[in-house]
Amino acid sequence: MESQDSLELYQKRIPIITRSVKGKFRRFKTTVLLLGFAVFFLLPWVPWHRAHGIPQAVAFDVTQRKFYIFNLIVYPQDVFWLAFLLFIAAVFLFFITTLLGRAFCGYFCFQTLWTDAFMFVERWMQGERSVRMKLQKQAWNGEKLVKVGGTYAIWLLISFWTGMTFVLYYGYAPDLLHRFFTGDAASAAYITVFGLTFSTLIAAGFMREQICAYVCPYGRFQSVMYEPETLAVTYEYRRGEGKNGRIGMKGELKQREKRQEQGYGDCIDCSICVQVCPVGIDIREGLQYRCISCGLCIDGCNEVMKSVGFPQGLIRYDSELNAESAAPKAPHLHWKRLKVLGYFAALVVMTTGLIVDIANEKDFECSVEQIRQPLYVTMSNGDIRDRYEIRLTNQADESVRFHISAEGLPPGALNLGLMQDALVHSGHSIIVDVGVELKPDQIKQYKSFEFVIQSLANDKDRVEVPMNFFSESSGI
């Protein structure tokens, strides 16, 4: 057997040591980071007055199955709001992606935010890129131990507090924090905090861009939503490379006219754009799947262009359509497209739907189901009876009496048994079984009818549930 060449399945990760940069995209990223962290870390500590329940602005009470979001109380029955919200988020992502590419990845994704924060810590503890590279090559000594160990320690602290904050949403924060440290919290709290501490540390400290490249499905499928009109971080190849490629600033090549005469492009090959990139790509090789569209290379390049006196915008947000045209114009948002408008219309419809639904939220939930065992019963006088199970959940703060009636039935057909107006305590659910009896000759006439459930506390709280009457002749 001859020896095979050492072709390996996996490439070892090349560490990415980023250089810090200043500019408008960096400022925007920092602003988003600070805002995002402020909301996430402080929200559990915002008090909120409530008659019952956790006095905290946002709290998810799992044991009571009540989720408090400011003045809104969400019950498990409202879970479709969450589904709705996720739909909206997905369409919003598609909408933004066709317009601006992976803007979510670059500025808002929590992987990006936490990685960014960890990089700040890294720089603060270990210094700028060149210093960090030197430190990495250096043998282990006290200084390296303190700097690297200190970085890891702060990362761990941030990770822990991230996990802790997440858990604090699931209870009354001051009380839960106290119980957590006295060992009285639920085991789920400890498991979650441990899990999130670990995953945050690993994902933001060590895996970083690998999460985006290998783990995250969104990053990958957003790539297929790019269109020629999409604004993406673009290196203007023709301007940068000219006829003869890019070249450094030497001698007379410091003047732009001379460079152009000799066929060289505007790119001075300073590699700043590569050094600042948090995912370790070279944008000059064109758009690629790892690019999270964070714009830091734009900031880096613009700064350099300014300092050498060349026009800015060699790297910029631009559409493929514009950047590759013979005479590129100033980049602009291409929003007059069927796809964009379609996504926008869908967004508006869904968001309005969700808001209207939440605004019209009743103080109770009800569901009516026909009892199917048996589907119908023949009574001794030949009448047919169907039975229905009504479940009522009172979501109001006080006990409410409900009146159950039916519309579209002959008088006396609805049999509530002994359960007339049913009293339901706050946050409780009850089950009421009712019967509907019809004479055989009435069955054809009353195939469908409506249950009406009316709160006696509030006229507005009324629900009509359409139902069918089944019998042998219904063809079941």
Catalog residues that contact other proteins under the rule CB under 8 A: 1, 3-4, 6, 8, 371, 373-374, 377-382, 385, 387, 389, 417-419, 422-425, 428-433, 435
Select from 348, 45, 7 the least CA-distant residue to 171: 45
- Which residues lie across from 234 on neighbouring strands? 316
Whole-number minimum distance, CB 163 to other proteins, in Å? 22
Closest CB to other proteins among residues 316, 387: 387
Q: Which residues of 48-64 are buried (b: 16+ CB within 10 A; e: fewer)?
A: eeeeebbebbbbbbeee
Question: Chain centroid to CA 64: how far?
Answer: 25
**Which tokens hold the place of 315?**
């790297």
Least distance from other proteins to the Cβ atom of residue 426, Å:
12
C-alpha–C-alpha distance, residues 378 and 376, integer Å: 7
Distances (CA, A) of 100 to 30, 62, 170: 19, 38, 35
Residue identified by tokens 């114009």 is 329
The CB-of-398 to other proteins minimum distance in angstroms stands at: 15
**Residue 9 CB, nearest distance to other proteins (Å)?**
9
| Residue among 154 and 186 whose Cβ is closer to other proteins | 186
CB of 53 to other proteins, least distance (A): 20
Least separation in angstroms between residue 326's CB and other proteins is: 50
Nearer to other proteins, 299 or 461 (CB): 461
Distance in angstroms (rounded) separating the CA atoms of residues 196 and 23: 33
Nearer to other proteins, 210 or 429 (CB): 429
Buried/exposed code over 167-195 (b: 16+ C-beta within 10 A; e: otherwise):
bbbbbbbeebbeebeeeebbeebeebbee
Q: Are 415 and 379 in contact (CB under 8 A)?
A: no
Can you name the residues that pair with 69 across neighbouring β-strands?
58, 72
Closer to other proteins at the Cβ: 10 or 70? 10
- Least distance in angstroms from the C-beta of 422 to other proteins: 4
Nearer CB in complex with other proteins: 342/435:
435
Minimum Å gap between C-beta 400 and other proteins is 11
**Alpha-carbon torsion (141, 143, 149, 155), positive or negative:** negative
Q: Are the C-beta atoms of residues 284 and 273 closer than 8 Å to each other?
A: yes
Nearer to other proteins, 123 or 387 (CB): 387
DSSP assignment of 370-388 equals E--TTS-EE-TTS-EEEEE
Considering beta carbons, is residue 100 or 371 the nearer one to other proteins?
Answer: 371
